[in-house]
Chain A
């Protein structure tokens, strides 16, 4: 109810201020538009055009119009790979949600002086290169690594256990890397949460569970959806983490596309897989957008 009221108000406000952008606005927008055209639109067009082309044995590309790469993409091998990637991304998203929501809520409700410190703590990992952080997990998880070293010397386990190069390690790496992308949008929703709404819920006789499920959750839903999207979408295509921490098994769609562009010598096929992945992302965006509009 309250969510609807807020979004309705926002829509009216937007409608009131909507007018044609002037020259100045275009000038200000120009760098952003140029960036989008050069780094998003043009590469996407190149990808789609390439997906209909052919590659000779030597590796040069001829531009024809064939649908064979799309036909090939819908075989069991590649659908299976895609499903694996989606599964990993879903598990990652759910874990990030369960772990990230309480954290975001805690930060959002903390005293203002604490908030910035806590937010900085969430952001600190980004100061280090992503690859270095992933490599450091290898030294933590390996058989002669920190965790096994501690557990064995404390005589908790007799022999080192296998942690690295397992699906567990892959998911751990993904969750670790994408958790901040879940926390930050939820935090912005929680920060904006109107205390009066929660108090009203209690005044009207709602218990903590009901206040959470019927007031807090709907009000923070936009942050939640945004967070889920920001974790889910990049997780599907990620291959560096799954290769380094999962040992490259099972292969992910990102890894398969990468190989088509290199040793597989099948760039058009890789482009077709990339285009299909792009379509999946578009569907995800569309679904969450509709959800927000409802």
Chain B
């Protein structure tokens, strides 16, 4: 009998071990600093609170602390790891968030479903700091609902110590001679997009017919890949376990900073440009504070701090001027205007996401 009790205890131990493997969102409350609220305190009667629901590893803690220090508004942060995770929580109505950080294709859907509060541009004068090409974008004409936070792209990183060939395109990457020497993002839609680009097919036209067309390409590519990793694809490259990667621009920029042997390539076929913005969901309790936060984030010296920590493509021109020449010259952070012109943004593909996922999973499992 007693043995059974012990086994039961072990079993509960095991449950804790399993429970430990997920990545729970980490609510983390910025400490209210004792100092007097100084400048730019918003003239509103809202309670001094702000609930931010944002990507993990995207807003530096000292930026949040400074916002609290200046305005006296206490910031609570909850993180997510994908747009879909954010959507699921937002739609389930579990939390009340004042600021969310969706990507372009999600914004389109959120606006269509009437889930965002229009912003008062008069409260966000710093919007003038944003480069014109990042304003008035197709997913939110006139910036009625969103302000750009960071943008970025997906590109190729080559370890030139290990690869002597001149890699220029996705087709150059996925060759038999690099079998089991490649890391890519663990993101089914991204992978399908690259294959569509090599076929000159529109990346937002995810029809059954187009998926059927790229299937043979993907079934060639996927067995060549050694690692699928969206969270930190730079690790496999830094450790020398793979020689080529198709990764986020921010990860590429960090690799280029780490070692000169890494080279950044924007694929000749074109690539995906993502724009992450700040928006206020309909259920927000502190929309005025949210607008004050948006304006704060768009301040040049604040935006510069974000770029220092997470070197993505900063849409804030005034902030770019504060960056070092070296930071601005990093081709993974700041692609040339010609390269940007060839990039495309994602549109919402709704239920087709399921088919994209099944296609890639079935090929991975082979």
Could you tell me which A residues sit within 8 Å of B by CB distance? 10, 13-14, 55-61, 77, 80-81, 84, 129-131, 138-139, 142-145, 160, 162, 164-165, 177, 181, 184-185, 188-189, 192, 222-223, 226, 230, 233-234, 237-241, 243, 247-251, 256, 259-267, 269
Contact B7 A226 (CB under 8 A): yes
Contact A80 B365 (CB under 8 A): yes
The 8 closest A-B pairs by CB, nearest first: A57-B350, A142-B239, A248-B228, A247-B227, A264-B357, A77-B362, A143-B240, A59-B87
Contact B18 A259 (CB under 8 A): no
Q: Write out the residue numbers on chain A whose beta carbons fall within 8 Å of the beta carbon of B225.
A: 249
Contact A77 B365 (CB under 8 A): yes
Which one of B14, B348, B365 lies within 8 Å of A250 (CB-CB)? B365
Question: How far, in angstroms, from A279 to B149 measured CA to CA in the complex?
Answer: 45
Nearest-neighbour CB distance to chain A for B145, whole angstroms, equals: 16
Question: How far, in angstroms, from A240 to B226 measured CA to CA in the complex?
Answer: 17
- The residue in chain B whose Cβ has the minimal distance to the Cβ of A81 is B365
Q: Write out the residue numbers on chain B whose beta carbons fall within 8 Å of the beta carbon of A260.
A: 357
- The residue in chain B whose Cβ has the minimal distance to the Cβ of A77 is B362
Question: How far, in angstroms, from A59 to B109 measured CA to CA in the complex?
Answer: 10
Tell me the count of chain B residues lying within 8 A, CB to CB, of chain A. 50
Q: Write out the residue numbers on chain B whose beta carbons fall within 8 Å of the beta carbon of A251.
A: 361, 364-365
- The residue in chain A whose Cβ has the minimal distance to the Cβ of B109 is A58
Nearest-neighbour CB distance to chain A for B350, whole angstroms, equals: 3
Contact of A265 with B365 at beta-carbon distance under 8 Å, contacts A165-B241, A248-B227 already known: no
Known pairs A162-B241, A165-B227, A181-B17 / 8 extra A-B pairs, C-beta < 8 Å? A58-B109, A59-B87, A81-B361, A181-B13, A226-B7, A243-B228, A248-B228, A261-B88
Question: How far, in angstroms, from A81 to B81 measured CA to CA in the complex?
Answer: 24
- The residue in chain B whose Cβ has the minimal distance to the Cβ of A246 is B227
Contact B241 A263 (CB under 8 A): no
| B200 interface hit (Cβ, 8 Å) | no
Nearest-neighbour CB distance to chain B for A120, whole angstroms, equals: 15
Contact B239 A138 (CB under 8 A): yes
Q: Write out the residue numbers on chain A whose beta carbons fall within 8 Å of the beta carbon of B6.
A: 185, 188
Contact B228 A265 (CB under 8 A): no
Question: How far, in angstroms, from A165 to B235 measured CA to CA in the complex?
Answer: 12
Nearest-neighbour CB distance to chain A for B170, whole angstroms, equals: 19
Contact A57 B351 (CB under 8 A): yes
25 pairs, A vs B, C-beta closer than 8 Å: A57-B348, A57-B351, A58-B113, A77-B361, A80-B362, A131-B20, A131-B21, A142-B239, A142-B240, A144-B240, A162-B180, A164-B241, A165-B226, A165-B227, A181-B17, A185-B6, A226-B10, A226-B11, A234-B17, A239-B21, A247-B226, A247-B229, A247-B236, A249-B364, A264-B188
Q: Write out the residue numbers on chain B whose beta carbons fall within 8 Å of the beta carbon of A261.
A: 85, 88
Contact of A238 with B21 at beta-carbon distance under 8 Å, contacts A81-B361, A243-B229, A263-B82 already known: yes
Which residues 173-200 of B sit at the A interface, judged by CB distance below 8 A?
Answer: 180, 183, 186-189
Question: How far, in angstroms, from A81 to B258 measured CA to CA in the complex?
Answer: 37
Contact of A230 with B348 at beta-carbon distance under 8 Å, contacts A58-B87, A144-B240, A250-B364 already known: no
Q: Write out the residue numbers on chain B whose beta carbons fall within 8 Å of the beta carbon of A80.
A: 362, 365-366
Question: How far, in angstroms, from A189 to B2 measured CA to CA in the complex?
Answer: 11
Contact B353 A263 (CB under 8 A): yes
Q: Write out the residue numbers on chain B whose beta carbons fall within 8 Å of the beta carbon of A57.
A: 109, 348, 350-351
Contact B1 A10 (CB under 8 A): yes
Q: Write out the residue numbers on chain A whose beta carbons fall within 8 Å of the beta carbon of B88.
A: 59, 261-262, 267
Which one of A164, A192, A237, A256 lies within 8 Å of B361 (CB-CB)? A256
Q: Write out the residue numbers on chain B whose beta carbons fall within 8 Å of the beta carbon of A143.
A: 239-241
Question: How far, in angstroms, from A184 to B366 measured CA to CA in the complex?
Answer: 37
Encoded as 1 (CB less than 8 Å from any A CB) or 0, chain B from 83 to 111 comes to 01101100110000000000000000100
Contact A59 B91 (CB under 8 A): yes
Contact A58 B350 (CB under 8 A): yes
- The residue in chain A whose Cβ has the minimal distance to the Cβ of B235 is A138
Contact B17 A263 (CB under 8 A): no
